[in-house]
Homo-oligomer: A and B are copies of this chain.
Amino acid sequence: VLTSHPDASTPTGSHVPPLSSVAAGEQRSDVGARLTDVHLLAPRLRVEERQLLAAFSARGVEATLADPTHIAVPLASPQSSVTALALDRGLATADAALLAALLAQGGTLVVNRAATARLLADRLAFLRHMIVAEIPVPQTTVAFGERATSRALSELGYPALLLPVSVDASNPPARAHDADAGEALVEHRRMLGHESLVLVQRNVLGTRLRLVVVGAAVVGVEVVRQGSDGALQYEEYQPLSPALATVGERVIGRLGSGVYEIQVVESINGPVVTGAGNLVDFRSLSAAGIDVAGLIADFALAQLAKHDTRVETGLETQHG
């Protein structure tokens, strides 16, 4: 059972409804109303969330915003949630994956599924999956301490990346162009008390792309550039090449269907997969004429129809 503070309001002032009305003491019996219980897990309404609300509305479904930071889940109460569908609209982090697992345990269909969300949040698990599937990834060493990090840097060469094992906005990857910068990074990590595991990765050179996945299909490809302010910018790209299409298919084969982006570098040796993440930003694709919000709503509602059938026939499996 999920509870949300009754006074919960978003930073922009719009009201966020309780994620579960059971917790508020208002027992729901109208199972037919479940289809309208669609929540976008986001603290505030961005362009993408407005497009999603409109897309659901156009399909006769009222979706609402729910701030995940207001959610508290009692561990020992596996009561059914009355939220039919939850779309995670934030960065895929370990916390978000745990929330997806707990919501799924309560009977909510979560997009992305907890298993997929975990792979988006955990760089080491993601890379291991890619390696098992023989999908090209950058050469990577797992270093368990400062000394191991220095050695891995000198062995892999420059430019190099230090990647925290967990995706975390407050602890982004760091890039070093040469040995001096590399040693400065190691020293910086020590000062910050980050003496733990880090992924040391060869920084593959080439055009940075993202393949945008909705359902089990690549619905768009964009070039990713970092603006002078550090923010990412997305630009239209030529149609999907056969090599990229193959990479997309194989990654989707490992991550499963969902709504996410696959990060790829087009190197001189072909496409190399560098990561994956939740599809938080897609306004550039919408502007280019791809109805991403509509595709997401269609996918999520189709999943929900299947999910409800499984629940009714007792075939429900736990995602977490």
Chain A residues in contact with chain B, CB under 8 A? 3, 5, 8, 67-76, 93, 95, 98-99, 102, 124, 127-128, 131, 137, 139-149, 151-152, 155, 165, 170, 193, 195-197, 199-200
* Contact A145 B197, beta carbon cutoff 8 Å: no
* Contact A75 B131, beta carbon cutoff 8 Å: yes
User: Considering the complex of A and B, which 7 residue pairs feature the smallest CB-CB distances, nearest first?
Assistant: A69-B145, A72-B148, A95-B197, A71-B144, A75-B140, A73-B142, A72-B152
* Contact A5 B148, beta carbon cutoff 8 Å: yes
| B residues in contact with A67, CB < 8 Å | 145
Within the complex, what minimum Cβ distance (angstroms) separates A133 from chain B? 12
CA distance A73 to B156 in the complex (A): 12
* Contact A141 B75, beta carbon cutoff 8 Å: yes
* Contact A143 B75, beta carbon cutoff 8 Å: no
- Contact residues of A: prevailing secondary structure: mixed
Q: Would you give 26 A-B contacts (Cβ < 8 Å), ordered by A?
A: A8-B147, A68-B144, A69-B146, A70-B144, A70-B145, A71-B145, A72-B141, A72-B144, A72-B149, A72-B200, A73-B144, A74-B140, A74-B141, A74-B142, A75-B128, A75-B142, A75-B199, A76-B131, A76-B137, A76-B140, A93-B196, A95-B197, A98-B142, A98-B197, A99-B144, A99-B197
| B residues in contact with A170, CB < 8 Å | 193
Beyond A71-B144, A72-B155, A102-B142, 19 additional contacts (C-beta under 8 Å) are A5-B148, A5-B151, A68-B145, A69-B147, A69-B148, A70-B145, A72-B144, A72-B148, A72-B151, A74-B139, A75-B131, A75-B140, A75-B199, A76-B131, A76-B137, A76-B139, A93-B196, A99-B197, A170-B193
- Return the chain B residue nearest A7 by Cβ: B147
- Return the chain B residue nearest A4 by Cβ: B148
